[in-house]
Amino acid sequence: MSEGPVLIHIWSVDPAQEAACIERLDELFANQIATDPGFVSARILDSQDHASVAAVIEMRSVEDRRRIEQLPEVRETLDHLHGAANLILRLYHQVKAFEA
């Protein structure tokens, strides 16, 4: 299976740090990722128990995704989000989509 343009990253967070983690991701997405010409969409998700945060980033191409991942601020945030521990970092290739 080849790489795709979607990155899904999941962190385990201290519930007391969840808001700070979401704020940091929000800043990163607004200032660094959403302004990139290869940007398609990004989502920040939290769990009901506030112990996990996920980021879903979709770029136009695999090359765009690889490039954005290598930016120092992006790499630092994905690898070392304050108050969080990395759970899963996987690249996904879309096999089906459903829309309203």
The structure tokens listed for 37 are 């010409």
d(CA 7, CA 33): 12
Instruction: Give the bridge partners for 45, in sequence order.
Output: 54
Residue range 62-87, pLDDT digits in tens: 999 999 989 998 888 887 776 676 65
Q: Are 85 and 12 in contact (CB under 8 A)?
A: yes
Residue range 12-64, pLDDT digits in tens: 888 999 999 999 999 999 998 999 999 999 999 999 998 889 999 999 999 99
Q: What is the fold, at CATH topology level, of the domain defined by 6-92?
A: Alpha-Beta Plaits (3.30.70)
